[in-house]
Amino acid sequence: MRSAVATLTYVYSDQTAVLGPLAMFAEPHAYDLCDAHSERLSAPRGWEVLRLAAQPDAARPSGDDLLALADAVRDAARPTDAWPAEDTAGGSGIGRRGHLRSVPTPDP
Give the model confidence (pLDDT) of 29-77 as tens digits: 899 999 999 999 999 999 999 999 866 555 566 677 778 877 887 877 7
Q: How confident is the model at residue 107 (pLDDT cuts 50, 70, 90)?
A: confident
What residues contact 18, with CB distance under 8 A and at least 6 apart?
8, 9, 10, 11, 50, 52
| Interval 14-25: pLDDT, tens | 999 999 998 888
**pLDDT for the residue numbered 101:** 65
Q: Residue 15: what pLDDT?
A: 93
In this prediction, residue 106 has a pLDDT band, given cuts at 50, 70 and 90, of confident
Residue 10 DSSP label: E
Q: Are strands 95-97 and 31-33 parallel, antiparallel or unpaired?
A: unpaired
| Distance, CA of 74 to CA of 88 (rounded, Å) | 28
Let me know the angle formed at the C-alpha of 49 by 47 and 50, rounded to the nearest 5 degrees. 135
Total residue count of the chain as it appears in this document: 108
- Whether the per-residue pLDDT at 92 is higher than 90: the answer is no
Domain layout of the chain by residue ranges: 6-51
